[in-house]
Structure formats: structure tokens, C-alpha cells
């Protein structure tokens, strides 16, 4: 994904859609989405308002929309996703996060769980979400961050270097949390907030992790992915490195998923504004008991 508007395509979006479709047709693994929904409930709890109309963007499965309806926090709930829409599912449409088909200022709340890490134009997707919100509407999203699957990435890179003499991109690049606050501001959100939650899942072996990744639609969909089949020798060496480097004392293997949370409000005149420069009533130097230096004065002991 790109932090600039003149992005290049990192992800094959048609393949991302196919990965999600296949995962749902074969039995989607919901544990990570369910964890994110539990966190979403905690993050919405302090917001003392009900949302007349809400939109869930891209969440792989109906669980977030079901939660919003059941919680009583939202009146009408709509859902837009690349795949995983059941026939006849009320309020759900197939749509790309990069091309949302909604009128401006329609929704009071927008959520998105574990999908925005696979868009090519993240700034553009955030702009579209902000435009779909009414003034003073709230956006709460969660996507996979840069530390996700670090154990798997390290194991494959070292195995390919040993067995094949070079490494190819097999795990998608994830967003850097340090960029997200700026992206929210550039997208026009007020009061942006970002934070990170690491989630560790333990597996009996690396192959169980790979099965879960397929069942969540999170396997390799990079445009620059290697098109030749993975060598068995490389796979087995990667599994051995994983077991050597990332095993707990009981033999279970750690897999890190970094959940990056972001939130912001569509601007409204009622929201808090930063103070104008020079409008402070007290000096920081007085509060700290120190001396204030002028702009041209050098610091000294």
C-alpha cells in the first residue's frame, strides 16, 4: 500500500477478492475478526451516542455488521465488502474499498476491520470513507501492521537465501503505524488517534499457521509475487527455521499479528479546535520553573 496519492499497485486486487471468496467458500477462520470485534466494542463504549446509520467497509464476513445491529448502537447497518456476501444478505453489497459507491455525508459511523491493509491506495480509501460520513461522523478501523507475521517472513527469507540463493516477496508488506496519523489528517479527519495491539497466536507447527492464513484469505496476493511453485526443500527448511527460532518452552510456535487501530471524526464546528498560536494564558517556562530564551538566544548551562 502506498502513503502517497501517486501510488503504484502493490496488490493484485482481483486476486485479493478471489482469496477472500475462496476462504469463505471453504470455511472462513473467524478468530482474528472476532478478536477485533471485541476490541471494537470496547472502543465504541465511551462514545455516548447512537448512530442512526452505519457502514462496515471491507470486513471479511458479516460479523461486524451483526455486532453493530445487536449492540443497539446503530439503527440501520450497511456492509460493503470484496467477497463473503451471502445471497439475500440484507444491506450488503459487493464493493471495493478503493471505489465506494455511496453518496457523500450519508453515514454516522463507519467501521473497517482487517481489510484496509490490502488496498493499493490507502490514502484514497480513507478519503472515500471520510466523505461518506456526515459531519461529526465517526470512523473506527483496524488493519494489520508492520510487525504482523514477522516470524514467518524471517523464516522464509532465510530459507530461500539458503536453498535458492535469494529471497522473493511471499508475505505482503504491512502499514507502518507511524504513517497512519498523518494519513488520517491528509484524508480530512479531525481528532485522529492511532494505537497498536500485538496479538500472539500459538500453533503446533508452521503448517497450521499457513492453513489459517488461507482460511482467512491472507495468503500472498502481491503483484510482484513469484509465479513459480514453492520448492518443497524451501518450505521444509522454512518450517525448520521457524521451529528453531520461534518456539516456546512447550514446543508451540508463536505467530504475531499486529492490529493497528485508527479513528477519526468527519469535521464539524462543535469539535474541539487547537488553540491559536500566542493565545496561551500561562508560560511553559513558569510551569517548569525554568528560564525562557528568546528565539535568537543560544542555549546555555
Longest dimension (CA), the chain: 73
> With 60 as the cut, is the pLDDT of residue 290 above it?
no
Query: Rounded mean pLDDT of 146-165?
Result: 91
Q: Is residue 287 part of a domain?
A: no
Given a cut of 50, is residue 86 above it in pLDDT?
A: yes
**Structural domain includes residue 5:** no
In this structure, is residue 301 part of a structural domain? no
pLDDT of residue 292: 42
Examine residue 67 and state whether it is found in any structural domain, yes or no: yes
User: Which CATH number does the domain housing residue 149 bear?
Assistant: 3.40.50.150
Q: Spell 36-50 as b/e; 16+ CB within 10 A means b.
A: bbebbeebbeeeeee
**Is residue 158 one of the residues assigned to a domain?**
yes
In a domain, 150, yes or no: yes
Query: pLDDT value at position 220?
Result: 80
| Residue 172: per-residue pLDDT | 61
Percent of residues, the chain, with pLDDT higher than 70:
85
Number of domains forming the structure of the chain:
1
Residue 48 has pLDDT above 60, yes or no: yes
Residue 213 reports pLDDT greater than 90: yes
The arithmetic mean of pLDDT across residues 70-99, rounded, is 90
Any domain includes 73: yes
Average pLDDT on 181-200 reads 93
In the predicted structure, residue 284 carries a pLDDT above the cut 50: no
Q: What is the pLDDT of residue 90?
A: 86
Between residues 301 and 248, the one the model is more confident about: 248
Name the least confident of 5-14, 20-29, 193-202, 238-247.
Answer: 5-14
Domain hosting 95: range is 13-268
Predicted confidence band at 269 (pLDDT cuts at 50, 70, 90)? confident
Asked, for residue 285, whether it belongs to a domain, the answer is no
144 has pLDDT over 70: yes
- Beta-bridge mates of residue 54: 77, 109
Task: Give the dihedral sign, CA 5/10/15/19.
Answer: negative
Amino acid at each position: 500500500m502506498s502513503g502517497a496519492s501517486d501510488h503504484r499497485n502493490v496488490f493484485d486486487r482481483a486476486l485479493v477478492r478471489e482469496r477472500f471468496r475462496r476462504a469463505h467458500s471453504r470455511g472462513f477462520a473467524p478468530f482474528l475478526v472476532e478478536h477485533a470485534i471485541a476490541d471494537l466494542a470496547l472502543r465504541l463504549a465511551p462514545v455516548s451516542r447512537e448512530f442512526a446509520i452505519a457502514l462496515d467497509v471491507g470486513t471479511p464476513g458479516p460479523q461486524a455488521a451483526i455486532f453493530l445491529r445487536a449492540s443497539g448502537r446503530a439503527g440501520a447497518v450497511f456492509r460493503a465488502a470484496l467477497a463473503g456476501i451471502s445471497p439475500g444478505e440484507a444491506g450488503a453489497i459487493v464493493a471495493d474499498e478503493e471505489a465506494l459507491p455511496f453518496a457523500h455525508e450519508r453515514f454516522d459511523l463507519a467501521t473497517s476491520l482487517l481489510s484496509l491493509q490490502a488496498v493499493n491506495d490507502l490514502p484514497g480509501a480513507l478519503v472515500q470513507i471520510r466523505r461518506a460520513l456526515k459531519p461529526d461522523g465517526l470512523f473506527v478501523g483496524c488493519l494489520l501492521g508492520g510487525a504482523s507475521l514477522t516470524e514467518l517472513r524471517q523464516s522464509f527469507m532465510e530459507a530461500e537465501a539458503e536453498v535458492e540463493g535469494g529471497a522473493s516477496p511471499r508475505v505482503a508488506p504491512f502499514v507502518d503505524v507511524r504513517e497512519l496519523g498523518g494519513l488520517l489528517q491528509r484524508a480530512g479527519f479531525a481528532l485522529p488517534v492511532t494505537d497498536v495491539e500485538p496479538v500472539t497466536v500459538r500453533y503446533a507447527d508452521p503448517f497450521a499457521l499457513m492453513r489459517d492464513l488461507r482460511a482467512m484469505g491472507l495468503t500472498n496476493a502481491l503483484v510482484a509475487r513469484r509465479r513459480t511453485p514453492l520448492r518443497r526443500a524451501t518450505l521444509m527448511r522454512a518450517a525448520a527455521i521457524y521451529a528453531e527460532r520461534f518456539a516456546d518452552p512447550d514446543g508451540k510456535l508463536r505467530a504475531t499479528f499486529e492490529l493497528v487501530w485508527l479513528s477519526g471524526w468527519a469535521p464539524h464546528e462543535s469539535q474541539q479546535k487547537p488553540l491559536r498560536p500566542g493565545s496561551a494564558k500561562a508560560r511553559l517556562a513558569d510551569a517548569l520553573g525554568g528560564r525562557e530564551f528568546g528565539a535568537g538566544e543560544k542555549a546555555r548551562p
